[in-house]
């Protein structure tokens, strides 16, 4: 090996073969170094260590260097190199209690009460809104397609509004939601305020401040990650999950965004739910095939939604009694020498 400046072939010592990526150092006999590699912004030539000593070397470098996997990996790469370096570092850090505490800081968890139920009485009273982005598979056009998805709480009636990749701002979002308020208008805006529930993105935070919502009698409700109100976007999340494969299939057809949106709307709104009706039928109170008027009991659908929320709350209450906590949480960072008190303790 020293004469030919090459390591033994893979048939002899497969685990330690580093052919073409190493060189013999002039520092001393038998010192093998790996050719230049980048560690952060530095270029280094670490010493190659035999696999038989790999775990020992990791243990030596780990002492006094507790922290993250990336930190210990970079420290090792700066000095040494061996096969399965990343895997061995990962195993060591995961098995170290101090490294675990530094990587995932323990949290003190306190339960937060859920918000009062937003139980809409009318179809079109409460809407969910969010942005969905999918790969467009186009070489000559925008690589992604974005749509605002707006869905009614009770009927599940859903509309898609195309938005350009560079148009996802508060001004454009305000235009789309204003249009959606008109599309979902069932003549109840004078009786009750229309609620639009969204997540807490920066765009949504900005559009909430617009004065136009007061004129339209619309209330923008921003949900919080640490609050029970986040649960109210769960119906939209499940609807987007059902909508996604349909949307992706239509995108592959490489049609215009507006046509794609119309096709997805047609398929989603005509799909029957567990109660036996499609969103189109609940929204229009007519059969989607024969156009015959239907007698749909909206109260039963509302009760079904309330019952599912009730089951979710009961599950959370049972967990609290047993000392376990289900989302939502309020998380506080761990501080050194902290002692956990009370019934709720860190899962770590």
Tens of pLDDT, residue by residue over 245-289, are 888 888 888 888 899 999 999 999 998 877 788 889 888 888 888
- Tell me what pLDDT residue 228 has: 47
Nearest in space to 125 (alpha carbons), one of 50, 221, 40, 48: 221
115/26: higher pLDDT: 26
pLDDT tens, residue by residue, 22-32: 778 878 777 88
Report the C-alpha gap between 160 and 150 in whole angstroms: 7
* CA–CA distance, 132 with 200 (Å, rounded to integer): 15
H-helix segments, 161-232: 170-183, 202-208, 212-216
Looking at the DSSP assignment, which residues form a beta bridge with residue 110? 330
Of 111-120, 132-141, 217-226, 307-316, which has the strongest mean pLDDT? 217-226
Q: If we measure between CA atoms, which residue out of 126, 127, 120, 124 comes closest to residue 186? A: 124
Extract the tokens encoding 285. 């109170």
- Cβ neighbour number for residue 149 with a 10 Å cutoff: 23
How big is the chain, counted in residues? 348
178-204 pLDDT per residue, tens: 999 888 887 665 678 888 988 888 888
Taking only the tens place, the pLDDT of each residue in 200-231 is 888 888 888 888 998 888 989 887 654 444 45
Q: Find the radius of gyration of the CA atoms of the chain.
A: 29
Q: What is the pLDDT of residues 46-69, one digit of tens each?
A: 998 888 889 999 999 998 888 788
Condensed to tens digits (0 to 9), the pLDDT of residues 164-178 reads 877 768 888 899 999
pLDDT bucket at 158, cuts 50 / 70 / 90: very high
The structure's pTM equals 0.57
Residues forming beta bridges with residue 147, ordered by sequence position: 132, 162
pLDDT of res. 343: 43
């Amino acid at each position: 090996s020293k004469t030919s400046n090459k390591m033994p072939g893979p048939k002899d010592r497969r685990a330690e073969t580093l052919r073409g990526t190493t060189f013999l150092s002039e520092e001393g006999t038998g010192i093998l170094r790996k050719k230049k590699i980048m560690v952060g912004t530095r270029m280094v030539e670490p010493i190659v260590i035999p696999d038989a000593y790999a775990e020992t070397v990791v243990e030596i470098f780990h002492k006094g260097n507790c922290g993250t996997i990336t930190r210990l990996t970079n420290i090792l790469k700066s000095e040494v190199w061996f096969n399965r370096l990343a895997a061995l570092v990962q195993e060591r850090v995961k098995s170290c209690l101090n490294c675990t505490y530094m990587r995932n800081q323990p949290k003190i968890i306190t339960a937060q009460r859920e918000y009062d139920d937003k139980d809409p009485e009318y179809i079109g009273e409460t809407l969910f809104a969010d942005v969905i982005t999918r790969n467009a598979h186009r070489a000559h056009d925008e690589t992604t397609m974005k749509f605002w998805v707006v869905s009614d709480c009770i009927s599940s009636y859903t509309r898609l509004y195309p938005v350009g990749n560079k148009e996802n701002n508060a001004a454009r979002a305000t235009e789309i939601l204003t249009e959606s308020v008109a599309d979902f208008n069932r003549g109840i805006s004078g009786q009750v305020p229309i609620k639009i529930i969204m997540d807490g993105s920066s765009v949504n935070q900005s559009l909430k401040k617009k004065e136009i919502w007061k004129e339209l009698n619309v209330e923008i409700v921003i949900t919080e990650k640490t609050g029970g109100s986040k649960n109210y976007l769960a119906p939209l999340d499940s609807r987007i999950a059902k909508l996604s494969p349909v949307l992706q299939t239509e995108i592959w057809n490489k049609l215009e965004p507006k046509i794609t949106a119309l096709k997805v709307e047609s398929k989603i709104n005509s799909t029957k739910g567990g109660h036996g009706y499609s969103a189109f039928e609940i929204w229009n109170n007519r059969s989607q095939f024969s156009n015959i008027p239907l007698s749909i009991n909206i109260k039963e659908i509302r009760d079904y939604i309330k019952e599912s929320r009730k089951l979710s709350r009961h599950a959370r209450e049972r967990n609290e009694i047993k000392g376990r906590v289900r989302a939502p949480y309020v998380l506080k960072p761990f501080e050194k020498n902290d002692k956990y008190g009370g019934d709720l303790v860190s899962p770590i």
